[in-house]
Chains A and B, each alone.
Chain A
Amino acid sequence: GENVEQHPSTLSVQEGDSAVIKCTYSDSASNYFPWYKQELGKRPQLIIDIRSNVGEKKDQRIAVTLNKTAKHFSLHITETQPEDSAVYFCAASRNEKLTFGTGTRLTIIP
């Protein structure tokens, strides 16, 4: 089955700097890659997603890139703000289930 690796497990950045989180996946048939933000005790919330026919997608301060050949995808957050502090999960999907990465705890230092 699909296996998703995520790095780093924790990340601290100064407010205003950029943060990058990277994921790799194993199943070349996976075709949908969402990123979820989870605040403490809350539900995972979709922040951006990308499909396998697209290499990059941007939404304001958030961007995702996908390299199908290397089977990796990354989340980029620019101009980070304190409210960006949370756990971020990448996921990969072929048809039905989402297979999640192990999460990255992002802390924005004011």
Chain B
Amino acid sequence: EPEVTQTPSHQVTQMGQEVILRCVPISNHLYFYWYRQILGQKVEFLVSFYNNEISEKSEIFDDQFSVERPDGSNFTLKIRSTKLEDSAMYFCASKIQETQYFGPGTRLLVL
């Protein structure tokens, strides 16, 4: 069964550094998402992407964040200048109809 994949599984970075989190959605899916989950808390929506543009974003998704689909398979989340509070698990998800399928996540730790 096809699955969403994400790399890296873990990333440690210094505050102020840029990070790029990568996702490969399920191949025939058309809608892509990033969510984050701070340790012990609920999953929070960051951004949705359809037809090569952002369709919705949350207030968390400020100017430090950007998303891109650089080719036909990858979907990336960039954080330009990381802050301590960006430490979280970041999940990519994709869907074709209503069901969103989640990737295994990237655990980001900002020191």
Contacts and interface: CB of A to CB of B under 8 A. Distances in A.
Interface of A: 32, 34, 36, 42-46, 49, 51, 89, 93, 96-103
A100 B42 contact: yes
Contact of A34 (B41, B48, B100, B103): B100
B102 A103 contact: no
B43 A100 contact: yes
A32 B43 CA distance: 17
Interface of B: 31, 33, 35, 41-45, 48, 55-56, 58, 91, 98-105
Contacts of A101: 42
B98 A44 contact: no
25 contacts: A32-B98, A34-B100, A36-B102, A43-B102, A44-B91, A44-B102, A46-B100, A46-B101, A49-B98, A49-B99, A51-B98, A89-B43, A93-B98, A96-B33, A96-B48, A96-B56, A97-B33, A97-B48, A97-B56, A97-B58, A98-B35, A98-B43, A98-B100, A99-B45, A100-B42
Given A32-B98, A44-B91, A51-B98, 5 more contacts: A36-B102, A97-B45, A97-B48, A98-B35, A101-B42
Please classify the interface of chain A as helix (H, G, I), strand (E, B), loop, or mixed, using the class held by over half of its residues. strand
Contacts of B58: 97
Residue among B41, B100, B105 having the largest count of chain A Cβ atoms under 10 Å: B100
